[in-house]
Amino acid sequence: MKMQLKWWNWPVVLAVAVVLLVLSAAPGAATPSSGVTNMTLARGTDVSGGTIPLQEGTDVVVSQISIQPGGSSGWHMHPGGAIVVVKQGEVTVYKSQGSQCEATTYTAGQAFIERPGQVHDAVNSGSAVYVAFVTYPRVTPGGATRIDMPDPGTCPGL
């Protein structure tokens, strides 16, 4: 059976051909960068499943944090939350959850999110220096990325 296009289908066929031609040429239209250097400081896979909504008009701060073996951040919280990428070593994060203590250990190559206002203490539980890159996404303009908190008493021995 021979198939013939009706005269009124030719505009559709022509339009599809033009679109395909334009789309296939699009990558050639990209411009190369010039004088740009991009150095990845750290990369990690999120293992916490957390989220942090952003707000217009707030600061975003990026810091490198180091904790010596056996060292501790002390109890604190981040008013706008934090996105942490572990570059080297390991850290155990203790969170006060009501009357309970929740402990999670993160190692190099992992990333996690600390919710805004979550009281926690980060302890270097390994034998090497812990290094992480932390992004604080919702900081009051000119404000602190962290607020020291009293020991909640839910994690004995810390």
The CATH number covering residue 101 comes to 2.60.120.10
Is residue 156 a contact partner of residue 92, using CB atoms and an 8 Å limit?
no
- Is 158 or 99 the better-scoring residue by pLDDT? 99
Q: Which of 57, 58, 68, 67 is nearest to 145 (CA)?
A: 58
Q: Is residue 156, in this structure, part of any structural domain at all? A: no
State the average pLDDT over residues 61-76: 94
pLDDT at 148: 95
pLDDT at 76: 94
Segment 116-145, tens digit of pLDDT: 999 999 999 999 999 999 999 889 998 999
Q: Is residue 99, in this structure, part of any structural domain at all? A: yes
- Is 22 or 129 the better-scoring residue by pLDDT? 129
Q: Is residue 24, in this structure, part of any structural domain at all? A: no
Q: In this model, does residue 14 exceed pLDDT 90?
A: no
pLDDT at 138: 87
d(CA 104, CA 110): 12
Q: What is the pTM of this model?
A: 0.73
Q: Is residue 120, in this structure, part of any structural domain at all? A: yes
End-to-end CA separation in angstroms for the chain: 83
Is residue 52 a contact partner of residue 137, using CB atoms and an 8 Å limit?
yes
